[in-house]
Amino acid sequence: MTAKEVMKELESYGDETIKNIYLNHGIKEPLFGVRIQDMKKILKKIKKNHELSLELYSTGNYDAKYFAGLIADENKISKDDLMKWAKEASNSGISEYTVPWIASESKFGYELGLKWIDSNNEAIASSGWCTLAYMASLKPDNELDLKVYRNLLNRVEKEIHTSPNRVKYTMNGFVIAIGSYIKDLSNDAIKVAKNIGTVNVNMGDTSCKVPLATAYINKVISKGKLGNKRKKARC
C-alpha cells in the first residue's frame, strides 16, 4: 500500500467519539480518531515497511504517526530517524508509546534513552524514560547494565516530584518496569516506590490515574510474573 492509500483507509475508520477522546487527552489536529483495533486491520496487509513508516510519520497526522510505529522496522530505522521522531512527537501518545517502542526494539535504545532523559524538552525526556523502561521489559537481565539502572532508580527518587508533568508520569512508570521486569532490582524499585509514594500528575480532562508503583509491582509479584519479559514493546 502507498502512503496515500493508507491515509485514505485510516480516514475511513475515523470516529468522532474516538477523536474527541483523543482531543481530551491533549492530542492535537490533524487526526481522524482511529481505534487501535481498526489500525491492526490495515497492519495485517502491510506488516513492517520502513520507508512507508517514515512517510506516514512525516504527515503530522496523529493516527498516521501512531500507525507508523506499528509498521516501523526496528532493524532499518536509523538513529537520525529516531531523533527526528522524538523531536516531532507532539503528544504523549507518540512520545510515550510510538517513539520509545521503536527505539527500545532498535540497537540504539540504550544510547538514545540515556541521552533523551537529560533533555529539557518534556516530551523527549519522557521518551527517554519510556525507552529505558521498555528495554528492561524486553532484554534479558544479563544484557542490561544493572548498575546504571540502579543509579537511575536513585535519580528518580531524588527528582521525580520536581520534574515536569509527563516526566513525573514516565519516571513512575520506569520504577514500575524495573520492579516488575528485573528480578535483581525489584527490591530496590519497591524501596524507591515506597519513598516516592503518590505521584501527582495533571492528567487533564480525563479519567486516567497515576498508578501507585508499590501496589503495581506487588501485584506482579503476587501473580508470579516477576521477571517475565515481553516479546516486543509495541502493541
pLDDT tens column, 31-44: 999 999 999 999 99
Percent of the chain with pLDDT over 90: 97
Band of residue 204 on the pLDDT scale cut at 50, 70, 90:
confident
Say how far apart CA 28 and CA 190 lie, in whole Å.
36
Q: State the Rg of the chain over Cα.
A: 18
Among 98, 94, 91, 109, CA closest to 23: 91
Q: What would the pLDDT profile of 150-180 be if each residue is shown by its tens digit?
A: 999 999 999 999 999 999 999 999 999 999 9
Domain limit, last residue, from 73, 104, 135: 73
Does residue 116 share a domain with residue 66? no
The reply to whether 82 falls in a domain is no
Mean pLDDT, range 61-87, rounded to an integer: 98
Does residue 229 share a domain with residue 118? yes
To the nearest 10 degrees (0 to 180), the angle between helices 62-71 and 36-46 is 50
The reply to whether 81 falls in a domain is no
Band of residue 58 on the pLDDT scale cut at 50, 70, 90:
very high
Mean pLDDT, range 97-111, rounded to an integer: 98
Mean pLDDT of all residues belonging to the chain: 97
Does residue 101 share a domain with residue 211? yes
Q: Are 204 and 164 in contact (CB under 8 A)?
A: no
Q: How many domains does the chain have?
A: 2
Does residue 116 share a domain with residue 205? yes
Instruction: Give the domain extent around 165.
Output: 94-235
Residues for the chain: how many in total? 235
